[in-house]
């Protein structure tokens, strides 16, 4: 009998991997990502900065609009021409949606048609109180955007 040198027992090169835990982990990650994708919401609000840029210096004889929240369901609109208030409008509603509807009506009839003449608002500033929700602030800004007022700023009110 001849012995072949160097040829002992052969080891298999195929390793047995248990892929079941890996597939379980992968399917769990996929399910988690699919479920959490529901809460990802991408939204934008296109506005221009109202002060500190050339947007504010476009017109010298211009109208500005200040919206000051008195409460979550009450606003005060101050229409200014060249920095001086020319009209004050109080906007109220039973709830926030009623106040938004009243705001839309007042902007369309009393602000943009000031003394029965169409005007253009150069800048608008919104001053919320601490009791006003962020979503309500954005909804108020949406009303301004729907009325072609795009130079919008937000002022903080101290002590509110």
Task: State whether the Cα torsion 117-120-122-127 is positive or negative.
Answer: positive
Residue 68, Cα to own-chain centre: how many angstroms?
Answer: 19
Query: Quick count: other Cβ atoms within 10 Å of Cβ 75?
Result: 25
Q: Is 47 exposed, middle or buried (0-12, 13-18, 19+ CB in 10 A)?
A: middle
- What is the dotted CATH code of the domain comprising 63-154? 3.30.420.40
Q: Stretch 96-100: mean pLDDT, rounded?
A: 89
Least-confidence region, from 40-44, 142-146, 151-155: 40-44
More confidently predicted of 108 and 12:
108
Q: Is pLDDT at 55 greater than 60 in this prediction?
A: no
Q: What is the pTM of this model?
A: 0.58
Over range 87-94, report the average pLDDT.
89
Number of H helices, E strands in the chain: 3, 7
Domain ranges of the chain: 63-154
């Amino acid at each position: 009998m001849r012995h072949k040198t160097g040829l002992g027992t052969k080891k298999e090169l195929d390793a047995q991997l248990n892929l079941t835990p890996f597939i379980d982990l992968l399917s769990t990650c996929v399910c988690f990502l699919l479920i959490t994708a529901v809460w990802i919401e991408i939204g934008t609000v296109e506005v221009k900065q109202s002060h500190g840029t050339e947007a504010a210096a476009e017109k010298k004889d211009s109208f500005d609009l200040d919206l000051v929240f008195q409460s979550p369901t009450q606003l005060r609109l101050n229409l200014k021409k060249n920095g001086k208030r020319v009209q004050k409008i109080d906007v109220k509603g039973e709830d926030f949606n009623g106040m938004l509807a009243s705001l839309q009506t007042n902007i369309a009839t009393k602000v943009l048609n000031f003394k029965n003449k169409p005007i253009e608002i150069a800048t608008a500033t919104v001053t919320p109180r601490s009791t006003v929700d962020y979503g309500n602030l954005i909804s108020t800004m949406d009303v301004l955007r729907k009325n072609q007022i795009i130079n919008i700023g937000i002022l903080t009110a101290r002590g509110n």
